[in-house]
Amino acid sequence: MQRDPLGVLFVCSGNICRSPLGEAIFRHQARDAGLEDRFVIDSAGTHGWHEGELADPRARRVGEKHGVEVTSRARPVVAGDFETFDVILAMDRGHLRELRGRCPAPLRERIRLMREFDDPPGGDVPDPYYDGEDAFEHVFDMLETCCRRLLVEIR
């Protein structure tokens, strides 16, 4: 029996650093596992500051270094995302609060903190925007672990 694809949305502030990396890493891991067709994978920002832009060049370079293509374009979270996506992953507690505040009460259980899937779980994915390439590398490593554990949980 064919199942409907599970919607997975990664969310950060402007959708140019953390969430596009999460989207790209998860897509890459799902593809490697032969499961890409089981998911609808996207990313968005709590704000539309960078709408239509490609991910930060540092995020794209770090992804490329690891064989992960980061191709998404920034967009803001819209009301329909809460219905469309089954799992919504906030990169930090600020995003978590904002998303829960905007989400209809019956759907709030869909929103989770990305680092719930870290080892050990907990905390925020730090924003690398104001730092150098090393910060993006650190975030990539963190997201790679989280995405791997997320894939295991929801597959």
Give a yes or no: residue 123 inside a domain. yes
Q: Structural domain of residue 94, as residue ranges?
A: 6-154
Question: Has residue 74 been placed in a domain?
Answer: yes
Is residue 127 part of the annotated active site? The answer reads yes
* Residue 73 in tokens: 């374009």
Q: Does 1 fall in a domain?
A: no
Q: What is the pLDDT of residues 35-58, one digit of tens each?
A: 999 999 999 999 989 999 999 999
- In this structure, what DSSP letter does residue 47 have? S
The question of whether 110 is a catalytic residue gets the answer: no
pLDDT bin (cut points 50, 70, 90) of residue 64 is: very high
Q: Is the pLDDT at 138 greater than 90, yes or no? A: yes
- The answer to whether the beta carbons of residues 124 and 93 sit under 8 Å apart is yes
- 67-85 pLDDT tens trace: 999 999 999 999 999 999 9
Q: Domain count for the chain, please give it.
A: 1
Residue 111 lies in a domain: yes
SS3 of residue 62 by DSSP = helix
- 30 lies in some domain: yes
Judged by DSSP in three states, 97 sits in helix
pLDDT of 1 > 60? The answer is no
| From 17, 18, 56, 58, the catalytic residue | 18
| CATH code of the domain in which 92 resides | 3.40.50.2300
Task: Pick the most confident of 15-19, 46-50, 131-135.
Answer: 15-19
Point out the catalytic residue in the list 86, 118, 124, 127.
Answer: 127
Residue 122, pLDDT score: 87
Among residues 12, 17, 146, 147, the one annotated as catalytic is: 12
Q: Which of 114, 117, 36 is nearest to 69 (CA)?
A: 36
Catalytic residue flag (residue 118): no
